[in-house]
Amino acid sequence: MANIPHQYTDYDSLDTITAEVCVIGSGCGGATLAYKLAEEGIDTVILEKGGYYPSSSFDNRELNQSGKVDAERGLTTSNDGSTYLTYGELVGGTSVHYWADSYRTPGDRLAQWHDQYGVAGHGAAQLAPIFDDIEKRLHVAEMEPFYYNRMNALFRDAVHALGWEGAPVKQARRGCAGSGHCMQGCAIGAKQSQLVTSVPAAMALGARVYADLRAEAFAFEGRRATQLTASVIDRRRNRPSGKQIVVKAKHFVVAAGGFNTPAFLLSQRRLREALPALGKHFGMNPTVFAHGLFPEPITLWRKPPACYGVEGFRLPRHDAAGNYVEGGYLLVPNQIQPGLMGYSVGGFDDGAADWMANLSHVGGATGWLDDCPDELGEIRVDPRGQRELAYPYGPTTQKMLRDLLKKIATVNFQAGATRVMLADLRRTELTSMDQLGAIDQIEVKPGNLFIAAPHPFGGCRMGQSARDSVTDSSHRVHGLDNLFVADPSVFPTGPSVDPSITIMGFSYIAAGHVAQALGQRLAPLPGA
């Protein structure tokens, strides 16, 4: 039989799964960790509540694919409807949906996590050989000029003309055909998602993957989680089938992703009561868009996204009195398929229809905020166990968003756009850079501005004490000997760049601690 994940159709006669390590989630965090453990011969299982869809099942149709790769079709929002939560729910996790931009964590951010939040053993020196290994495994490289679509090229030239600090963005691809369907899942497996990298690599080394199986409740004895109950999801209806399976393991690792790990742990009463920081300090890189109408064809949905980016505004600038002046975000050319463009263009009137009718000439830019550490949000669960997400959009966050909107409008005009439209409810339109002041009038309030959240983090912050953090620096949940977290939930703040490489790097370190708890060591990496 082919080495593929187990699925709901296989579970009728299965009541118990046993393993040395049980990993919940098959994304960058979980699959990478499982691969590192399997490499050492550690008996590892992955539970994944989403379905298994091989690349060969992807049909490149945006609406079909959104049902497979985009959890809740990308339509789930924060409590007040202000923000679209985008993540994956399938074998391979969000990486099947992602753009594959691959940034190493900046040294200044790792130093800040160490100095301000007490994170140990995750410094630039520890991570350098790990990042080398990940980049080699995922074929991370700058894209050749051939792969730049018209918007990427116009954006790059505009950034040069504006004198901003930009650079080609390294990406995780191999044998890319330039189709532009990365967000819908790459049908030829060129995008180096976990579906085509760590998941099959871990399985080839003996790890077992159980798709359509949702982790639900731990049983605890003293300082240990002894077993986990999981529900089978009937993939045809995306609902629990009623059957449950018990997983018995020596160690459990939660890697259910930034939106779901805090919610899952909060649904465990013992943890909710013992860990006051659980769910707190949550961030999500609020992401905004400016669409531009160009005199020439752009065809925004072809070739890979974001080949070039602006890092010059990554860190915010403050005046002598400490007031925010500028920055705190990354900018890239936008890449959006027609369906998603449709729901980011506000309204149903002739003006909205006009933009959609000119779609082939619509380009744009996007950018996302490195969340302000003083204005973070919170994940909670309601009495039925449903996730709730509250994000305050505090005063500094609003200033940063307006500054970011001005930058993405500016780069559109510099690139040649004749009209720029912001993705707000009023569809604010500008016809020249002189009108950027109109952005100060845009209200950042629930539902008024199209804001997406592609990079959740926090909620299980790493630190030194159970008073203000959830895990210690070995990724172990405070107060328990055999429960670990390995995904961006442990980040004390955002990493200030796209997070996938940081998530995977942290999973290598977490795998070392889990192996150590089993009396084993990971083989040293070259250069370590």
Ligand X SMILES: Cc1cc2nc3c(=O)[nH]c(=O)nc-3n(C[C@H](O)[C@H](O)[C@H](O)COP(=O)(O)OP(=O)(O)OC[C@H]3O[C@@H](n4cnc5c(N)ncnc54)[C@H](O)[C@@H]3O)c2cc1C
Give the tokens for residue 54.
């091989």
Query: Is 249 one of the binding residues for ligand SF4 (CB under 6 A)?
Result: no
Q: Which of residues 379-418 bind ligand SF4 (CB under 6 A)?
A: none
Only one of the segments 26-34, 35-43, 134-142, 145-153 lies at the binding site for ligand X (rule: CB under 6 A); that segment is 26-34
Contact 478, 467 (CB under 8 A): no
List 454, 492, 505, 512, residue binding ligand X (CB under 6 A)? 454
* Least spacing, CB of residue 135 vs ligand X, in Å: 12
DSSP secondary structure letters along 376-395: -BEEEE-TTS-EEEE----H
- Distances from the Cα of 109 to the Cα of 105, 122, 257, angstroms: 7, 11, 21
Does residue 191 bind ligand X (CB under 6 A)? no
Decide if residue 260 touches ligand X (CB under 6 A): yes
Q: Binding to ligand SF4 by residue 246, rule CB under 6 A?
A: no
In sequence order, what are the beta bridge partners of 219?
227
Q: Is 7 in the site for ligand X (CB under 6 A)?
A: no
| Nearest-angstrom CA–CA distance, 332 and 240 | 40
**Exposure b/e, 517-527, CB count within 10 A at least 16 = b:** bbeeebeeeee
27 binding ligand X? (CB under 6 A): yes
* Among ligand SF4, ligand X, none, residue 179 binds (CB under 5-8 Å by kind): ligand SF4
Contact status, residue 329 vs residue 369, Cβ threshold 8 Å = yes
Block residue for tokens 């992955």: 46
Nearer CB in complex with ligand SF4: 177/217: 177
Q: Which of 11, 35, 58, 99 binds ligand X (CB under 6 A)?
A: 99
In the complex with ligand SF4, the residue whose CB is nearer, 178 or 446, is: 178
Question: Using H for helix, E for strand and C for coil, what is the string for 296-314?
Answer: CCCCCCCCCCCCEEECCCC
Asked if 177 is part of the footprint of ligand SF4 (rule: CB under 6 A), the reply reads yes
Give the CB-nearest residue to ligand X: 27
Residue 201 site contact among ligand X, ligand SF4, none (CB < 5 to 8 Å, cut-off depends on kind): none
d(CA 276, CA 221): 21
> How near is the Cβ of 366 to ligand X at its closest, in Å?
10
The SS3 of residue 462 is strand
Question: Contacting ligand X (CB under 6 A), which of 455, 461, 475, 478?
Answer: 455
In the numeric block, which tokens belong to residue 336?
């959006």
179 lies in the site for ligand SF4, by CB under 6 A: yes
Helix, coil or strand: residue 179: coil
Q: Which of 42, 182, 202, 253 binds ligand SF4 (CB under 6 A)?
A: 182
Residue 432: CB minimum distance to ligand SF4, A:
33
Q: Which does 188 bind (CB under 5 to 8 A by kind): ligand SF4, ligand X, none?
A: ligand SF4
Of the candidate spans 172-180, 234-242, 399-407, 514-522, the one that interacts with ligand SF4 by CB under 6 A turns out to be 172-180
Asked if 254 contacts 271 with a C-beta cutoff of 8 angstroms, the reply is no
Alpha-helical (H) ranges within 163-268 are: 198-204, 260-266
Q: Which two tokens stand for residue 112?
A: 């800040």
Binding residue for ligand X, selected from 19, 23, 100, 159, defined by CB under 6 A: 100
Which one-letter DSSP state was computed for residue 220? E
Q: What is the dihedral of CA 139, 143, 144, 145, to 10 degrees?
A: 170
- Strands 84-85 and 452-453, how do they pair? parallel
Which C-beta is closer to ligand X: that of 284 or that of 293? 284
Q: Closest CB to ligand SF4 among 97 and 251? A: 97
Alpha carbons 270 and 459: distance in angstroms, whole number: 16
Q: Interior CA angle at 467 toward 462 and 473, to 5°?
A: 25
Residues in contact with ligand SF4, shown as a per-residue x/- string from 188 to 227 under the rule CB under 6 A? x-xx------------------------------------
Binder of residue 134, out of ligand SF4, ligand X, none (CB less than 5 to 8 A by kind): none
- Candidates 48-56, 109-117, 348-356, 390-398 — which segment interacts with ligand X by CB under 6 A? 48-56
Cα–Cα distance list, 154 to 105, 306, 360 (Å): 27, 12, 15
Comparing CB distances to ligand X, the nearer of 292 and 494 is 494
We find the least distance from the C-beta atom of residue 189 to ligand SF4, in angstroms, to be 8
DSSP character at residue 262? H
Angle of helix 395-414 relative to helix 150-162, nearest 10 degrees? 100
Shorter beta-carbon distance to ligand X: residue 25 or 279:
25
Task: State the minimum distance, in angstroms, from the CB of residue 373 to ligand SF4.
Answer: 34
Nearer to ligand SF4, 98 or 329 (CB): 98
Which residues, at least 6 apart from 11, have a Cβ–Cβ distance to it below 8 Å?
212, 213, 232, 243, 245
Q: Does 47 bind ligand X (CB under 6 A)?
A: yes
- Tell me: does residue 68 bind ligand X (CB under 6 A): no
**Which residues form the interface with ligand X (CB under 6 A)?**
24-30, 47-50, 86-90, 93-95, 97-101, 183, 214-215, 255-258, 260, 264, 454-455, 487-488, 498-500, 503
Could you list the residues that contact ligand SF4 (CB under 6 A)? 173, 176-182, 186, 188, 190-191, 304
